[in-house]
Amino acid sequence: MTTDTTPSVALITGGSSGLGLALVHALDDAGWTVVTDARDATRLSDAIAGSAVRGVPGDITDADHRAALRDLVAELGGLDLLVLNASTLGPLPMRPLRDYDPLDMGEVFRTNGGAHAALMTSLADELLRRDGVVIGISSDAAVQHYETWGPYGASKALLDHLVLTFGAETGLATYAVDPGDMRTPMQQDAFPGEDISDRPHPDSVVPRLLALLEQRPERGRYLAADVTLPEVASV
């Protein structure tokens, strides 16, 4: 993080809902300069209304949108934190591989993997300028093999690999983080009609991501639940 009085700068993709929104609000509350995006412009502006968060509506698979994000970050003087969070499950309901249209599979890889990698590499100089951190939001599906989760899981394995390779190539601190199940629209989409109220709120994952940022452990893949929280002094 920056050591001068300049606020730290974060770019979090997919900040209008779920984990992205929870993190956007936490960093904004902590005085960071926060940039985020999402495709639905109204939902995005409603989600960040009343905050200092800079919302840039657009689709991460669109090269012009990624260039707009990069230009804004350059204007802000660099990047302390990049969180590759926006994601698609693919066509719903989720389906077995033999029922998958190959073009749909390509779109899942493009959204969750390739487009985010293109954003990340385009921001290399901005990250290096501030010794920034990259967090790719992964999933247990990246390493487990669940029926109907194949393309999504493979796309998360792809993201993990690209994020960690980028770290090896640049020396930046890069992490693939599995947040665990969370009570979000994406989780509901994956389990239509199911009661998902037993899943933790995404707010509960944010302190783990902030602790990772603070601790800067070795580059690698982490379960959010395994990241140690700072001890709270007892009175």
Q: Which residues bind ligand NAP (CB under 6 A)?
A: 13-20, 37-40, 43, 59-61, 85-88, 111, 137, 139, 179, 181-182, 184-187, 202
Which residues are bridge partners to 222 per DSSP?
A: 177
Minimum distance, C-beta of residue 119 to ligand NAP, in the bound complex (Å)? 10
Return phi, psi of residue 79, to 5°: -135, 125
Minimum distance, C-beta of residue 49 to ligand NAP, in the bound complex (Å)? 15
Q: DSSP state, 33?
A: E
If the CB atoms of residues 16 and 33 are measured against ligand NAP, the closer one turns out to be 16
In the chain, the largest separation of any two C-alpha atoms, in whole Å, equals 59
Task: Indicate the residue whose CB is closest to ligand NAP.
Answer: 18
Element of type H or E holding 205: none
CB 192 within 8 A of CB 92: yes
Minimum distance, C-beta of residue 187 to ligand NAP, in the bound complex (Å)? 4
**Backbone torsion region of residue 141, taken as left when φ is above 0, otherwise alpha when ψ lies between -120 and 50, otherwise beta:** alpha
If the CB atoms of residues 38 and 82 are measured against ligand NAP, the closer one turns out to be 38
Minimum distance, C-beta of residue 118 to ligand NAP, in the bound complex (Å)? 12
Minimum distance, C-beta of residue 159 to ligand NAP, in the bound complex (Å)? 8
If the CB atoms of residues 37 and 160 are measured against ligand NAP, the closer one turns out to be 37
Give the CA distances from residue 160 to residues 98, 148, 157, 221, 222, in Å, rounded to whole numbers and listed in that order: 25, 20, 5, 7, 10
If the CB atoms of residues 128 and 186 are measured against ligand NAP, the closer one turns out to be 186
If the CB atoms of residues 28 and 37 are measured against ligand NAP, the closer one turns out to be 37
Minimum distance, C-beta of residue 186 to ligand NAP, in the bound complex (Å)? 3
The percent of the chain in helix, strand and coil, each rounded to the nearest 5, is: 45, 15, 40
* Distance, CA of 186 to CA of 202 (rounded, Å): 12
If the CB atoms of residues 10 and 130 are measured against ligand NAP, the closer one turns out to be 10
Interacting residues of 21 by C-beta distance below 8 A, sequence separation 6+: 15, 47, 202
Minimum distance, C-beta of residue 195 to ligand NAP, in the bound complex (Å)? 14
Tell me which residue has tokens 């693939």: 176
If the CB atoms of residues 8 and 61 are measured against ligand NAP, the closer one turns out to be 61
